[in-house]
Chains A and B, each alone.
Chain A
């Protein structure tokens, strides 16, 4: 039997309606602020609800033209992954890239891009899709883009199990690291599909609250849709300790 290794979390990245990085997210959370607001940029007049937890990524966070062209859900995954990797102080060498994994939970994929393109096709009579339509809209677009960002060549996959996608992704990544399939894994979840077609689909389910999200409240009226992403760096305890030891002289010199 393969010996089981201790797995630790060494990095964290967050993109949410409360903040587009971990410090701002945490500050808003501690201050008791709510990320749910009126949805912007979508005509909600035909819906039974107007609110959502919409992410607003500041333009300066995505300076590269190629990144600006990605679907919002992939942008969210990318920003959260960059923050998590920087947070962990992780620098992957060639050999480590072969032993690294990306496991993200994303059930929808590039739904905003898809909705927009279909509207152009069916409503506006446009004849062409953008050539990057498939890589932008596929459900594993986020995991793929994150793997390209860090040159990761181990297992790279998306897990689509509805609202539990990210949970399953974290579990799968944990198993990979614990059982020696990978030494480090970027894992978590991301989603963004607040476009009219997708909002109508949720409206049809009759589960979205017209006011706000009040879980466990007797007078609750339903759920509220949100966008966001959260990524963790999982690695073996030994690898994490070795990295801390390597960086310790520098840390104590600056302390």
Chain B
């Protein structure tokens, strides 16, 4: 990530990415918005994460991405990556390694 961004700036990027993907207004998205309520499915999520990774030049680990349920989860995760901190990964589910 080249220039550190504030949480508000990251939120706006996330809201814009979600709004663009789902053709909804960014104003309708808050920190507490849940992705399932916004109609974001797994394919949408991949596109949104890709766009944010490109814009912020960070890599969101797959395991962390799967645990993100709300806009706040993503904003906080990106904030940590932007500050060079590690994202706390949820414990791997049994058999998760066999996925893919």
Contact = CB atoms under 8 A, between A and B. Distances in A.
Contacts of A128: 50, 53-54
Contacts, number: 12
A131 B50 contact: yes
A131 B50 CA distance: 7
Nearest to A135: B43
A65 B23 contact: yes
A132 B46 CA distance: 8
B23 A131 contact: no
A234 to B, nearest CB: 32
Interface in B37-60: 46-47, 49-50, 53-54, 57
A130 interface: yes
A119 to B, nearest CB: 16
Nearest to B48: A131
A131 B46 contact: yes
Tell me the dominant secondary structure on chain B's binding face.
helix
Interface in A123-138: 127-128, 130-132
Interface in A102-137: 127-128, 130-132
A166 to B, nearest CB: 30
Contacts of B47: 131-132
Contacts of B23: 65
Interface in B58-85: none
Contacts of B53: 128
Interface in A25-73: 65
Interface in A199-254: none
Contacts of A130: 50
Contacts of A131: 46-47, 49-50
12 contacts: A65-B23, A127-B57, A128-B50, A128-B53, A128-B54, A130-B50, A131-B46, A131-B47, A131-B49, A131-B50, A132-B46, A132-B47
